[in-house]
Amino acid sequence: MKKSTILKGTMILTLAGLATRIIGFFYRIYLSNALGAEKLGIYQLVFPVYGICFTIYASGIQTAISKLVADQAGRQHYLTTQEQKESFHIKKILLCGLFCSITTALCLSVLLYHNASFIATHIIKEPACTNSLKVLSYVFPFCGGTACINGYYYGLKKSGVPAVTQLLEQFVRVISVYVIATYFGKGDAGVTCELAVFGVVIGEIVSNLYNICSLAFVKIPAPADISHASLPVSKILFPLLKYSVPLTGNHLIVSLLHSLEAILIPTMLKRSGLSTSEALSVYGVLTGMALPFILFPSAITNSLAVLLLPTISEANAAKNQSAINQTTSISIKYSLVIGIFSTGIFIFFGRSFGDIFFHNQQAGSFLVTLSWLCPFIYLTTTLGSIINGLGKTHLTFINTICGLSIRILFVFYMVPNKGIYGYLIGLLVSQLAIALLDYLSLVHTISIKFDAVNSLLKPALIIFILGMLSQKTYHFFQSGLHLGNAWILLIVCSLVLTFYLLLLFITHSLSAKDFK
């Protein structure tokens, strides 16, 4: 295992993730202006259905492909020649995964298309979602193919193709929606909402075609003596299903709870005294404006998590405990450093982000409240990937269920009395619980070196001081620079990031040896 694999892979995925999120950031602004808060809420309601279906046909299979490919790649360095010959061919794992995923996706596409009206009316409780659900059903086979191929590349720790796929899908989606909505939407928010879903389909089709073409040009790192191994498909299919089916079942339960949560929020908001339109508007502001902003910096931690699973899995297969310990400790440290920075930015500038980019004061208020989520969201992403890499997926499942149960209880009992802020409190409590449970799940298996001073105290003090100073700088630039408020805000945030990293290195919170 090369020492630079995780760093290079994370950098590639992070750059693609940041580019994708920047494109998506402006896309969200366009959608919020084109649809309005209420239609944006309706648009967001179709994605819980998408999430459930994706979980069934792709989520577990993608992770299984990534893990099995990584296991085989790692084992081949330690097996004898005879054992290598008995090791199944890496590419056949992908082919079996594609067959399972696409077959399942096609069945779900047919079911969703013919039952869209029932689901929209009786489950989502919003009949206006019917056409959007029908459009969304076409995307499933393409998403399944893309997920499997990306899992294959993650297992090989070749992150370039998935990075380009991610960027291409977002770019095509945004351009297609903008062009189609401009010529066919004609200002009708309802039509634009359906066209936005259609853009998802176009983006996935194009990115899937690119993924398929890439397979012809990427070499498989298998020894020559096993490159033509011929084993029955059953010997590959069984371990694939053995790993993916329980994982899919776990993810499905989690996805169902996520969907229940999403459907309950507008319903409980109505019980708090809001009208249907007001409830959908609040839901649209939260899920379509505030949460994407909060999750924007997670491009780094998500990229790290994607590469951590196969890396930890390979190290675990090779019984390399020191690599697992070191990788885990450094990953936790940087997840916290990124999370603390994000919290500071949203506390000091959250209201400005909402006012400037969405012209919505409520979005800014949500950003300030949700800012405390950042360290816990980013940390649970990293810890969950490490636990999965160790093959203990049941632990991430149990921990996630506990966190979701807390949130749903808050939706039931707090939202009718406290409104949307009851849910925001529930979000914070649940993420804190998941982070704590994930940490406890690892601490008995892995020797984690945690330096609270350098990972928590110094970053928090630095971002607090910089935040106070940057607010004065922001107001000074507003009066002195002839630029729009958006550009001034981005310049100030970039300066804060630069000085934050510089001061962390000066105070020895960060070290160059972490990257070696």
- AA identity, residue 351: R
d(CA 490, CA 259): 34
Query: Mind listing the pLDDT tens digit for each residue in 273-287?
Result: 888 888 888 888 888
User: What radius of gyration do the chain's Cα atoms show?
Assistant: 23
Strongest mean pLDDT among 11-20, 41-50, 250-259, 419-428: 419-428
| pLDDT beyond 50 at 84 | no
Q: Is 417 in contact with 272 (CB distance < 8 Å)?
A: yes
Query: Mind listing the pLDDT tens digit for each residue in 149-168?
Result: 998 988 887 878 888 888 88
> What pLDDT is attached to residue 188?
66
Band of pLDDT at residue 102, cut at 50, 70 and 90: very high
Mean pLDDT, range 87-92, rounded to an integer? 66
Band of pLDDT at residue 402, cut at 50, 70 and 90: very high
| pLDDT beyond 80 at 81 | no
| pLDDT beyond 80 at 457 | yes
Q: Which position has the higher pLDDT, 11 or 361?
A: 361
| pLDDT beyond 50 at 125 | yes
Long-range contacts of 110-114 (CB under 8 A, 24+ apart): 110/137, 112/49, 112/53, 112/136, 112/137, 112/140, 113/137, 113/138
| pLDDT beyond 70 at 1 | no
Mean pLDDT check: name the lowest of 102-111, 175-184, 367-376, 437-446: 175-184
d(CA 223, CA 214): 21
| pLDDT beyond 60 at 2 | no
Report angle CA 286, 290, 291 to the nearest 5 degrees.
85
Give this prediction's pTM. Answer: 0.70
d(CA 37, CA 250): 33
> What pLDDT is attached to residue 223?
45
Check residue 379 and report its DSSP letter.
H
Tokens 């007001």 belong to residue: 278
Q: Which position has the higher pLDDT, 26 or 123?
A: 123
Band of pLDDT at residue 86, cut at 50, 70 and 90: very low
Mean pLDDT, range 327-352, rounded to an integer? 89
Q: Which position has the higher pLDDT, 177 or 5?
A: 177
| pLDDT beyond 90 at 3 | no
> Which residues have C-beta within 8 Å of that of residue 513, sequence separation ≥ 6?
none
| pLDDT beyond 70 at 80 | no
Average pLDDT across the chain, whole number: 82
Band of pLDDT at residue 368, cut at 50, 70 and 90: very high
| pLDDT beyond 90 at 206 | yes
Alpha-carbon distances, residue 260 vs 111, 266, 425, 463, 480 (angstroms):
20, 11, 18, 37, 50
Exposed/middle/buried for 435, CB within 10 Å: 0-12, 13-18, 19+? buried
Strongest mean pLDDT among 26-35, 317-326, 404-413: 404-413
| pLDDT beyond 50 at 381 | yes
Mean pLDDT check: name the lowest of 49-58, 262-271, 399-408, 482-491: 482-491
> What pLDDT is attached to residue 229?
46
d(CA 358, CA 292): 12
Q: What percent of the chain has pLDDT over 90?
A: 24
- AA identity, residue 190: G
Mean pLDDT, range 79-108, rounded to an integer? 74
Band of pLDDT at residue 474, cut at 50, 70 and 90: confident
